Amino acid sequence: MNTTEIKHRAPSENVSISNLSRSRTAHRPYIKYPKSTAPRAAGAKPWDVSALCEAYDWPTGLTGGGVIGIIELGGGWVSADLEQFCESNNIPVPSVVDVSVDGTRNAPGVDPGSDGEVALDIQVTAAAYSVATGKPATIRVYWAKDIAPAVRMAIHDSCDVCSISWGSDEAEWGNAAAQDMEQAAVAAAAAGMIVFAAAGDNDSSDGGPNAANVDTPASCPHVIACGGTRKTATLETVWNNDPGKPSGEGTGGGFSTLFHPMPAWQIGAPHGPGRMVPDVAANADPETGYNVVLNGQVSPTGGTSAVAPLYAGLFAAFGTKLGWVLPALWHNPLSFNDITIGDNGAFRARPGPDACTGLGSPIASDLAALLVRPAAM
């Protein structure tokens, strides 16, 4: 396993001063753990990631080849945890390279609250890719103080997909920084790199002062916004552990006030003032979460943090430089399981796309049929 640290910078003209001035404390990781005092509902138990992939009809035998970038703003990872996870999920150990964007580095134990986020991101991505291909994933972890410069570094390094599990309410970003983040996402799409971002874990308020706010970078139109569900072996609903309340523990979602009007490719979405979040969804409730390994112990973990790397690993298995795929997803809603039960506070699930789970959770084999390009003869 490659754990070399690379130190370099993207060309200076691609680095935003407005974003570099932002502190990592403006963003938070979207990771949640089960409440130890809460009784577990019938049928609710965490998934081994390989088993969850099977439940989502993961393809197998794909050629793969996509290089995965993961952005982290704190915490760290250790090889022993990753190796233990891979053994328990019967997948090969990935190649992981740490890349310092601005002097920030892999630092396990310094910020224990973020270590779980890093473990979740790397392990879920690795499993999603390897279940589809049978091969080890190639992962680059970009350590940075802010998100947009790290996205630009991943573009510079020719990554094929990028996973972001950090963010904050649009209002905390402000228009200038959010627009700069969108420009980074536009550049990613032009370079063939797909960017996935968590939609947030605080229901429709996104932790903000109003009942309906959305999260950036998920709200950027050139980012695939990833919402959350609660998935058991028999039922999948909107993730919201505080039903009917706009501020609690559950999937983010709503309509942007910074990016408007609504994109034309959001076909069938309920009308709102701007870009609807999320686009897609998958299991995120910590009660039905993901068994990851942290500090040598299996730790059930959830949050929309898990959804972005799940999709990133899957799409990396589809191949390289897939480009601007978001309109294609919206034109093919039957490639997703429509989630019609539940709410995230201000918005309710309904047949078709909605501001809770977007198009729904993946029917992964159908997505592969849509996006995998035939091998050149």
Residues marked as catalytic: 117, 121, 305
Residue 16 and residue 176: Cα distance in Å, rounded? 10
Report whether 297 contacts 112 (CB < 8 A).
Answer: no
Quick one: CA torsion of 186, 164, 327, 161, rounded to 10 degrees? 80
Does residue 59 have a cis bond before it (omega within 30 degrees)?
A: no
What's the chain's length in residues?
377
Q: Tell me the residue type at 358.
A: G
- Beta-carbon contacts of 319 under 8 Å, excluding residues fewer than 6 positions away, are 63, 64, 65, 66, 160, 371, 372, 373
* Nearest Cα to Cα of residue 91 among 46, 118, 58: 58
> Using the 8-state DSSP alphabet, how is residue 12 labeled?
G
What is each CA distance from 60 to 64, 260, 276, 282, in whole angstroms?
Answer: 10, 39, 32, 19
β-bridge pairing 161-164 and 138-143:
unpaired
Helices then strands, each counted (H, E), the chain? 10, 18
Q: Per-residue DSSP letters for 266-322? A: -TTPPP-SS-EE-SEEEE--GGG-EEEEETTEEEEEBSGGGHHHHHHHHHHHH-S--
> Using the 8-state DSSP alphabet, how is residue 50 labeled?
H
In sequence order, what E strands does the chain have? 5-7, 28-29, 67-72, 95-100, 138-143, 161-164, 166-169, 194-198, 215-216, 224-231, 236-238, 254-255, 276-277, 280-283, 290-294, 297-301, 336-337, 361-362
* Nearest Cα to Cα of residue 306 among 194, 206, 163: 163
